[in-house]
Amino acid sequence: MSDAQLSEGDVLRRMYRLTADQERSFEDKVPDLLDLGREYLGVEVGFLTEIADDTQLIVEARGDHDRLQPDSSCPLSRAYCRKTIDVDGALTVQHARVEGWEDDAAYDEFGLEAYIGAKVLVDGEVYGTFCFADTEPRDRPFSETEETFVELMAQWVGYEIFHTQAKERIQTQRDQLAEFTRIVSHDIRNPLGIVEGYLELAEETGDPEHFRRCREAVNRMESLVDDLLFLTREGQTIGGRESISLAELVRECWSFVDADDATLRVETDRDLYGDWSRLQQVFENLFRNAIEHGGDDITVTVGDLEDGTGVYVADDGVGIPEDVRKDVFVDGYTTGESGTGLGLTIIRQVVSAHGWTIDVVESAEGGARFEIRGMEPEAE
């Protein structure tokens, strides 16, 4: 390992030019910053990590170390970075074997003799670390200036990640607002037009049937407003989770659905861990969707998936054509005259907020089968 080749002034100027370049993305800048740090510190490798669920993931890396490459991961307990995130400032190691690392799992995993790293904070929470290391020891300790250099880069990385995430959230909110505006402007104007037309007919003829049609249009607008409020206020959030008997949940949801001639079959004794009120939205919407499209005498079955990863809700109705299945979870998609087109969007958002996935396939009887995967029976 060679001594640093850059002066403090040179490295600060180069770091400033890299970070201030508005024409390049964050992803493009990080490799160059890692190379700059390797050159300045005189080490073999530089790497950015993300730490989650007690696992260290290498997000970006420069250098030839075979265990420190992008997308490589290991348990945090076997990483130098487990100690980095517990200290203020930078963690430094001049000679690992001399400093008591020889029996450490991280030394066994990576064989690094020299190391300097600082934690990356995003909105006050640990995101990961920004680090430099070498398989050879240093002939001198890391200086205070070198520690400050690594800390500054870690702070910049944290700011950039926060800024990127904030932009993504804003863009998502803008997209949702645009979509809701489209739905409201189209779907509320239609029933308003119906009300206006039938009120005129009622004034002319006095036929009470025209008032009934007005009431149906008003009910549809109320349903649309309720669905939109749910999506904007609660659809992407999960409150307190609890252990839930799926059979008990689906039977309660079925009792709230207008299904006098339909049949519910419950073929599961699964317990799951989730938000009861949000999951009510999922199963009530799935049941209403089945009855709306399959008829009043439909049979709906709730059971466990064969591979044990989740549950399904299947019916013996007309099913969903394969070429439109990819569209059913899109905001506003509906083939019914009375639906708002947001029920399946609500289902997708609540399922996703639980960390699960949902897909639609054909049931054994030719109807629709919604498969929800990723359910955990209890809290970790």
pLDDT of residue 3: 46
Rounded CA-CA distance 128/121 in Å is 7
Partner residues linked to 130 by β-bridges: 48, 118
Buried b (16+ CB within 10 A) or exposed e, 180-197: beebeeebbeebeebbee
Q: Are 93 and 117 in contact (CB under 8 A)?
A: no
Containing H/E element for 250?
helix 246-255
Place of tokens 């499209």: 293
Span(s) in the chain for CATH 3.30.565.10: 241-380
Buried b (16+ CB within 10 A) or exposed e, 153-168: bbebbbebbbeeeeee
pLDDT of residue 236: 55
Residue 320 — pLDDT band, cuts 50, 70, 90? confident
Q: Which residue has the higher pLDDT, 114 or 7?
A: 114
Q: Which of 146-160, 211-225, 231-245 has the lowest mean pLDDT?
A: 231-245
pLDDT of residue 232: 62
Rounded mean pLDDT, 121-138: 96
pLDDT of residue 312: 96
pLDDT at 2 over 50: no
Output the pTM of the full model.
0.57
Q: Are 110 and 68 in contact (CB under 8 A)?
A: yes
| Amino acid type, 8 | E
Torsion of CA 194, 199, 205, 209, to 10 degrees: 60
Per-residue tokens: 27? 């992803």
Per-residue tokens: 96? 């690992």
Residue 54 — pLDDT band, cuts 50, 70, 90? very high
Rounded CA-CA distance 227/293 in Å is 19
pLDDT at 134 over 70: yes
Q: Are 54 and 48 in contact (CB under 8 A)?
A: no
Cβ atoms within 10 Å of 204's Cβ, excluding its own = 9
Please classify residue 55 by burial: count the beta carbons closer than 10 Å to its beta carbon, then call 0-12 exposed, 13-18 middle and 19+ buried. middle
How do the residues of the chain divide into helix, strand and coil, expressed in percent and rounded to 5?
Answer: 45, 20, 35
What DSSP state is assigned to residue 336? S
* 241-380: CATH superfamily: Histidine kinase-like ATPase, C-terminal domain (3.30.565.10)
Span(s) in the chain for CATH 3.30.450.40: 8-168
CATH number for the domain formed by residue range(s) 8-168:
3.30.450.40
